[in-house]
Amino acid sequence: MRWTPGEESPDIEDRRGEDDGGGGGGGFGFGPRHIGIGGFIVLLLLSLVFKRNFFALLGGGGSVRPPVSSAAPRQASESPEEKRSEQLVSFVLDDVQNTWARQFANTDHPYQHAKLVLFSNSTESGCGQADAATGPFYCPADHKVYIDLAFYQELKDRFGAPGEFAQAYVLAHEVGHHVQNLLGIDGQVRHLQSSRPAQANALSVRLELQADCLAGVWAHSTEQRGILEKGDVESALGAAAAVGDDRLQRMSSGAIHPERWTHGSSEQRVSWFKTGFDSGDINHCDTFNNKN
């Protein structure tokens, strides 16, 4: 991906190096948030071991803690790899949000920027405690994306999805959840999940696949603007395939249970990213009426 390191995005809130304030307690204080890859694996393992649907904890009802101050000190030092990752997410965040601002310009929904919180190990969000094991996620309560940059090394080493555009895909997916929130889609899905608990997982899958499609819409714009390089699309598709529910289940237990999926299969995630990439049109991202 062609990009030039520059100034930090004004939409970044850097909490790395802060005291997480967790005090060793708390427990599951989840509000309505979209968990990341690490969190999915943790909940999946708990569900398999205790034969209980721990994903139900994500439906809300937990205590919602106030976010900590954004005035926390930055890390005293960074490795060159960490610095480049910080500059990359800063560039991608601005590029994704500028793309959506243009997309929203001719609609009745003015685009409101999300914030990106960089943290190390753990921090507080408007949806409760955020920790590195959760992976990147978007919290609709405070309109913020949360990322521990160490996740990108895990994406490469554990999930076999290297490359800067794979990292960009992850962030674009989470901003896709912000777009859903602004359009009211997230709220509608949460209401349906509450009223139709038997369909909660299936609705979650449709929400996540739509975020993949929205990430593809942004990727389409990067191709139009000459930002893409050879291999970038394959890198993003590899990341989408790496975090499919079927692959993660196979990695953790050796068995596949479609009824427990919350994000969609590798094939579905790749397919919907490609739909957004090929069309560049948000209107092609209706995953709720298209069951592919």
Give the whole-angstrom CA distance, residue 228 versus residue 155.
Answer: 20
Is 126 in contact with 31 (CB distance < 8 Å)? yes
Asked whether residue 232 is assigned to any structural domain, the reply reads yes
Asked whether residue 157 is assigned to any structural domain, the reply reads yes
Report residue 240's pLDDT band, with 50, 70 and 90 as the boundaries.
Answer: confident
- H or E segment to which residue 139 belongs: strand 137-139
Asked whether residue 119 is assigned to any structural domain, the reply reads yes
Asked whether residue 292 is assigned to any structural domain, the reply reads no
Q: Give the pLDDT confidence score for residue 104 in this predicted structure.
A: 93
Asked whether residue 5 is assigned to any structural domain, the reply reads no
Asked whether residue 2 is assigned to any structural domain, the reply reads no
Which CATH number belongs to the domain containing residue 50 in this structure?
3.40.390
pLDDT tens by residue, 182-207: 999 999 999 999 999 999 999 999 99
Task: Give the number of domains in the chain.
Answer: 1
**What's the Cα-to-Cα distance from 192 to each of 32, 59, 61, rounded to whole Å?**
13, 11, 16
Asked whether residue 7 is assigned to any structural domain, the reply reads no
pLDDT tens by residue, 95-141: 999 999 999 998 888 899 999 999 999 999 999 988 888 789 999 99
Report residue 70's pLDDT band, with 50, 70 and 90 as the boundaries.
Answer: very low
pLDDT tens by residue, 156-184: 887 777 678 888 999 999 999 999 999 99
Give the whole-angstrom CA distance, residue 126 versus residue 275.
Answer: 32
Is 239 in contact with 161 (CB distance < 8 Å)? yes
Backbone angles phi, psi at 117, to 5 degrees: -100, 120
Asked whether residue 230 is assigned to any structural domain, the reply reads yes
What's the rounded mean pLDDT across residues 198-227?
94
Q: Which two tokens stand for residue 51?
A: 């034969």
DSSP string, 183-249: HTHHHHHHHHHHH-GGGHHHHHHHHHHHHHHHHHHHHHHHHHTT---TTHHHHHHHHHHHT-HHHHH
In Å, the largest CA–CA distance within the chain is 50
Mean pLDDT of the chain: 80
Report residue 229's pLDDT band, with 50, 70 and 90 as the boundaries.
Answer: confident
Owning domain of residue 18: 12-284
